[in-house]
Amino acid sequence: MENASRHDAVRIPLPADERMKRIFGLECEYGLTFSPNGRVYLPIEKILGYIFEGLIPNSWPSNAFLTNGARFYQDTGCHPEYSTPECDDIFDLVAHEKAGERILESCLPLAEERLREEGLAGDIYIFKNNTDSLGNTYGCHENFLMRRDIDFWKVAEQLIPFFVTRQIFSGAGKVLKVSGKPQYFLSQRAQHIHEKTSSSTTSSRSIINTRDEPHADAERYRRLHIILGDSNMSEFASYLKVGTADLILSMIEEGCVVRGMALEDPVKAIRDISRDPTLRKKVRLDDGRELSALDIQRVYLEKAADFLRARPEEKLKADVFNEWERVLNALEENPLRLVREIDWVTKHWLIQSYVDCKGCGWDDPRVAMMDLQYHDVNRKRGLYYLLQAHDKTTKLVDERVIERAMSVPPQDTRAKVRGDFIRFARAKNRSYTVDWTYLKLNGYWEETILCMDPFCAFNRRVNELASQVPAASP
């Protein structure tokens, strides 16, 4: 593996209009709990079944694709997981990731009604966070389609210092006890990362996952799978988290090398940075230097500035760059300027304001409850959404766009073909099987349609089937 990273890969020149294209995806696992009105134990599996019922009536699938092209399924540990459809625009991605929250929220009333029918009154809570009270963790994975002709290991080595330090603006914040005393951490996932790279997402969580599963033409593309990030409530934090990673990846793909940033111990560095909200902690590099997370981020920022000067047509990436620079400046001068935008800052301010108002300490049980309630997807009780209701958060995507994304896929990626196929199959009461790269009508008129190009939003055969296949008898 290391030997391969020492040699330059042969680059296949791409047309200018394809050079900067990217497919993005987010996979978000949610925490799930039931608070009964009485002493009734109910297995989480049953609650999750009711949530699935509300989403897909008359079925209890463990893996279901939706009409918006997204995938909704049960992950390890009885966590509902929502994978966005393929998006080629960051704002589309933010909208479809938020649509996942809204879809789960919309399932709650019916699920709770089903419980009442069984005489089990209580409240179901769904949290968009990354840890539970027992110390278990569940993730928010980022996916970036990248070029196959680039040396993956060279890309990974250059990206690791960026991802380790990115938590200073992408972290969701977490109150943890250290030696019996509460301490505020920048990231919920950082303490659960064990390796630089690994093919596993559970037993040996890594900064960069190496599983080679592109869900596309494997000769041309590879999927960069990032599993160290937090789930963000803030739309702006999601935008900046994904946007900066896309910018750095594009820069590396085009041959702009980031040298001299290798960390001596990336796993130790990610944990040390997380436990210092003052952002002053320095981590050791391979060459013996010690730099803060802000210092390292600024090195990448300067490289990105050089990259973009030669590409004035890249307006969206330039916007990401400008916001990134503004955020780094604010973090250095006064992080409180980023209340409304950055989750860990917003949550810290919210809790500190409460502690000051009540005259209690950070070890007060109500603080632990606030730490959790910030992530409640129910907009009537989640603290993030109560802030939003009082115009104390930055909103990037109109709510009407999010509502549309709950049922309508992106219109310029493969997700549109998948969504159209599912819609017509359901309308005609036909059994079907769907995955990221294929569509299949089961039984009569059985046919498998391959969809290997994630940028292609049209499939002639799907359109033909929609007009030719008769409706099945009820």
Looking at the annotation, which residues are catalytic?
75
User: Strands 122-127 and 206-209, how do they pair?
Assistant: unpaired
Per DSSP, the residues of 404-447 read: HHTT---TTSHHHHHHHHHHHHHHTT--EEE-SSEEEE-STT-E
Q: List the one residue out of 368, 370, 393 whose CA is nearest residue 383.
A: 370
287-298 in b/e form (b: 16+ CB < 10 A) is eeeebbbbebbb
Q: Which residues lie closer than 8 Å to 465 by C-beta, 6 or more apart?
A: 421, 424, 441, 445, 447
As a whole number of Å, the end-to-end CA separation of the chain is: 56
Nearest 10 degrees: Cα torsion 9, 10, 15, 20: 0
Is the Cα dihedral 267, 273, 275, 280 positive or negative? Answer: positive
Chain-centroid distance, C-alpha 207: 14
User: Strands 63-65 and 31-36, how do they pair?
Assistant: unpaired
Is residue 107 within 8 A of residue 166, CB to CB? The reply is no
Q: How many Cβ atoms sit within 10 Å of the Cβ of residue 156?
A: 21
Q: How far apart are CA 292 and CA 189, in angstroms?
A: 19
